[in-house]
Structure 1
Amino acid sequence: MFSIENLSKEPPLPASAPSDDVLVRREDGVLTITINRPDQRNAVNGGVSRGIAAALDLLDSTPELRVAVLHGAGPSFCAGMDLKAFAAGEKTSDPVRGFAGLVERPPAKPLIAAVEGWALGGGFEIVLACDLVVAGRGARFGLPEVRRGLAARGGGAFRLPRRLPHMLAMELLLTGAPLGAEHAARFGLVNRLVDDGGALAGALDLAAVVAGSAPMSVRASKRVAVESADWPVGEGFERQRALFEPVFASGDAAEGVAAFRERRAPVWRDA
């Protein structure tokens, strides 16, 4: 259910192994996570949930890894929960990270969604749990749960109103209507809009930029950005101090200044 490619100098494993629901490849500090169920539109079963959770554990525990890219094999990103697997009794949630091994506990390091085709239901909730989004122009997002007598309980109901204007988010939640990538980009839900078929390449380009930044600075910045959503305004500076002071006291802070003065690329050492 979980296959790691290119973890050493040995040749990488085949790009698609039919028994593997999630493929993972690491290169130049970037972890690429592939939901590998294209015949099921990458719907989330137990194997996908366990595989993504294991990949994110690997990301957070490996100093050499700086950022991850998550995408789906084939023409769709993810069609949400695999209802057949659910009906058969499979657990589609990880006990720690939640649905799809992600939505309740995203990684400490940045995660970029590369979206082609449909990101539907739980698939859209996976996207909303990511930090950055690169999408093909034909990508579409939707939370159709209300049309099925269900609700977007994988984070969609509270994350979407934080990502989109309130009235637009309410329309999507209450009608189940889809949102096209170009419309989503106009409202800031998508960071980079690319031609169809180019989402993964675009996400990897963005990941390379993130991976080139100081890892300690990136992690602390993400943590403040995420956790400050419910901080009292008057406590913002005090609460961020505990997270940012170690960054400014780190060797990488000195290295960043030195590299700037010497007009060279920095060599980061503090993971």
Structure 2
Amino acid sequence: MQSHSFNRLPPPQTYGAVSFPASHVMLLVFNRPKALNSMTSPGQYELESLFSWYDSEPSLRCAIVTGAGRAFCAGMDLKEWNQLNARRARGEIEQQPMMPRSGFGALSRRHGKKPVIGAINGLAFGGGMEIVANLDLVIAAKGALFGLPEAKRGVVAMAGSLPRLARTIGRPRATELALTGKSITATEAKEWGLINIVTEDAAADCTMLERPVVKAALELAASIVNNSPDSVIISRAGIVAGYEDGSAENATRLLSENWESALNDGENLHEGVQAFAEKRAPRWVDSKL
């Protein structure tokens, strides 16, 4: 593990386990393996605080999210959901949204500032699939499974995945997933354009960092953090704007209006150009964007 000096410590977590396995990289492990990492309502608000901290911490440039055990995330904890509904009906607790504004697990509707890579190690069902649909890059183990079984439980995937999947994999395939509740393999997900890379499955006795899917995610993260952190943030903003808005020209205009002067005034642009002229590796500084 790398030693880090942060402006302030990350917010405490009970659902997820947070570590920093490489320079500038945060690793979040969904950590309820006996419950297939099903998400609790308090856990989602914890994660919202965590990703807000990640975006504001200058020394961090990339995050990876994975799951403990044999699942990435099997969705919402339906037992907790049922109990909360009963307690609300009796007036024992106040009505509160089950998830924050940034969506399921604070990721399914997150815009954010910095990239998040998914290292999908197993089942990604329901809310887990909704998270996958909005991650920046996705690597999956060969044995991973993806699905939206909500219709089989009388509920609907309303955390942002349906319109995003329609854009990513197309309407017919998104409809097939949502209306039938079927699951697809990692190989199929890659063919559909949902994920970037498929790795071998982990051996049963593998540590988290020895898992092929996590190792591949760390390699991808390293290739990101080696680049200008300003360029990474602004490039991602342009992609997200085009993906969410749908208009390439409007996204281009907004990118220029919102970010061009900050890029030009930043230290990293000047360092990158100077390093090229001097034929040396650039020495990036933490982004001030």
Interval of TM-score (by shorter of Structure 1 and Structure 2): 0.7 to 0.9
Counterpart amino acid of 2:19? Answer: R
CA offset digits 1:141-189 (Å, max 9, x no partner): 0001112221110112111111113211211111111111011112221
CA separation of 1:120 and 1:237: change in aligned 2, threshold 3 A: closer
The residue matched to 1:188 in structure 2 has which SS?
coil
Counterpart pick for 1:188 among 161, 181, 193: 193
Q: Is the contact between residue 104 and residue 130 of structure 2 (CA under 8 Å) also seen in structure 1?
A: no
Match in the other structure for 2:256: 241
Match in the other structure for 1:112: 117
Quote the Cα distance in structure 1 between the aligned partners of 2:49 and 2:103: 12
Match in the other structure for 1:14: none
Match in the other structure for 1:66: 61
- Report the RMSD for the aligned CA atoms in angstroms: 2.2
Quote the Cα distance in structure 2 between the aligned partners of 1:96 and 1:6: 32
Residue 204 of structure 1: CA displacement? 1.1
Quote the Cα distance in structure 2 between the aligned partners of 1:254 and 1:191: 32
Q: What does 1:172-183 align with in structure 2 at a 5 Å threshold?
A: 172-183=177-188
How many residue pairs match? The answer is: 258
CA offset digits 1:48-79 (Å, max 9, x no partner): 21332122022111000001001111111000
Quote the Cα distance in structure 2 between the aligned partners of 1:196 and 1:92: 36
The residue matched to 2:106 in structure 1 has which SS?
coil
Structure 1 range deviating more: 123-132 or 259-268: 259-268
Match in the other structure for 1:129: 134
Percent same amino acid among aligned pairs?
Answer: 36
Structure 2 unaligned blocks of 5 or more: 7-12, 86-95, 203-211
CA offset digits 1:105-155 (Å, max 9, x no partner): 342100011001110000100111211001001111000111222111011
CA separation of 1:236 and 1:127: change in aligned 2, threshold 3 A: closer
Structure 1 unaligned blocks of 5 or more: 10-18
Structure 1 range deviating more: 257-266 or 54-63: 257-266
Residue 241 of structure 1: CA displacement? 1.2
Q: Is the contact between residue 114 and residue 133 of structure 1 (CA under 8 Å) also seen in structure 2?
A: yes
Residue 47 of structure 1: CA displacement? 3.8
TM-score, with normalisation over the residues of structure 1?
0.87
Match in the other structure for 1:199: 213
Q: Is the contact between residue 45 and residue 92 of structure 1 (CA under 8 Å) also seen in structure 2?
A: no
Quote the Cα distance in structure 2 between the aligned partners of 1:231 and 1:141: 25
Q: What does 1:135-174 align with in structure 2 at a 5 Å threshold?
A: 135-174=140-179
The residue matched to 1:100 in structure 2 has which SS?
helix
CA separation of 1:57 and 1:237: change in aligned 2, threshold 3 A: closer
Quote the Cα distance in structure 2 between the aligned partners of 1:84 and 1:205: 37
CA offset digits 1:9-56 (Å, max 9, x no partner): 9xxxxxxxxx93211112400010111100000000134213321220
Q: Is the contact between residue 251 and residue 270 of structure 1 (CA under 8 Å) also seen in structure 2?
A: no
Match in the other structure for 2:272: 256
Match in the other structure for 1:268: 284
The residue matched to 1:169 in structure 2 has which SS?
helix
Match in the other structure for 1:216: 230
> Which structure 1 residue ranges, 4+ long, deviate > 3 Å from structure 2?
5-9, 90-96, 231-237
Counterpart amino acid of 1:192? Answer: I
